[in-house]
Amino acid sequence: MIELILASGNAHKAEEFAELFDPKLITVKAAPEKIDVVEDGESYFENALLKAKAYYDKFKVPVIADDSGLNVAALPTELGLHSARFGGDGLKDRDRAELLLKKMDGIANREAFFSCVLCVYMNEKEIFYFEGRMNGSIGYSYRGSTGFGYDPVFIPTDKAEEGLTVAELHEWKQKNSHRAVATGFAQKFLGQRN
């Protein structure tokens, strides 16, 4: 079995990873303490590595780090790597999602996708990346009570006919989200190494 610590202070992510990995193969635990890491990379890959390396250097155990974001075709420079900081400091998840809806008002092209890059940092010589993506579009209203972040305004392509947001699709999200896809790749690869 592989034991990893999660390079994040986000409780939602820790819970999600615990549900996504097969606990017989891979366990993910919260780090003993949160470290502030400057995420100044120019890609999800760079930011995931910055976090993973910082936690590995501090705790000297294998680490999993994730960098993810929402990429919106009509607002190419506003979200992406900056999704968690969209709109500035002091905003809550709902505020950011509603700000996005406001900025999208009157825009016909609502294409978007969630991207997740996982960095598994076993040691300085064994660093692995896994990428997942969930295509979809930005809805017209805030709907749903599960999930977090932009889930209540994002309609996945697979559910476009039903018009349901990710926040209305908890069980579906567990198997099909960008994080679930990346985790699936990681589990398959790491499981074969053991």
- Residue 7's SS3 state is coil
Cβ burial of 183 (10 Å; 0-12, 13-18, 19+) is buried
- CATH number of the domain within which 33 lies: 3.90.950.10
> Which residues are CB-contacts of 89 (< 8 A; sequence separation ≥ 6)?
none
Domains held by the chain: number: 1
pLDDT at 177: 93
The position carrying tokens 């749903």 is 144
Quick check: pTM over 0.95? no
pLDDT for position 148: 85
Angle between helices 178-193 and 11-20 (to 10 degrees): 50
* Token couple for 96: 């950011």
Q: Which amino acid is at 77?
A: T
Given the residues 40, 67, 95, 151, the one annotated as active site: 67
pLDDT per residue rounded down to tens, the chain (194 residues): 899 999 986 666 777 787 899 989 998 888 888 999 998 999 999 999 999 999 999 999 999 999 999 999 999 999 999 999 999 999 999 999 999 999 999 999 999 999 999 999 999 999 999 999 999 999 999 999 987 899 999 999 999 999 999 999 989 998 999 999 999 999 999 988 76
pLDDT at 194 (0 to 100):
60
Q: How many CB atoms lie within 10 A of CB 141?
A: 9
Q: How far apart are CA 67 and CA 8, in angstroms?
A: 10
Tokens of 77: 């420079």
Closest by CA to 74, choosing from 39, 113, 37, 31, is: 113
DSSP 49: H
Range of the domain at 117: 2-193
Instruction: Verify whether residue 36 is a known catalytic residue.
Output: no
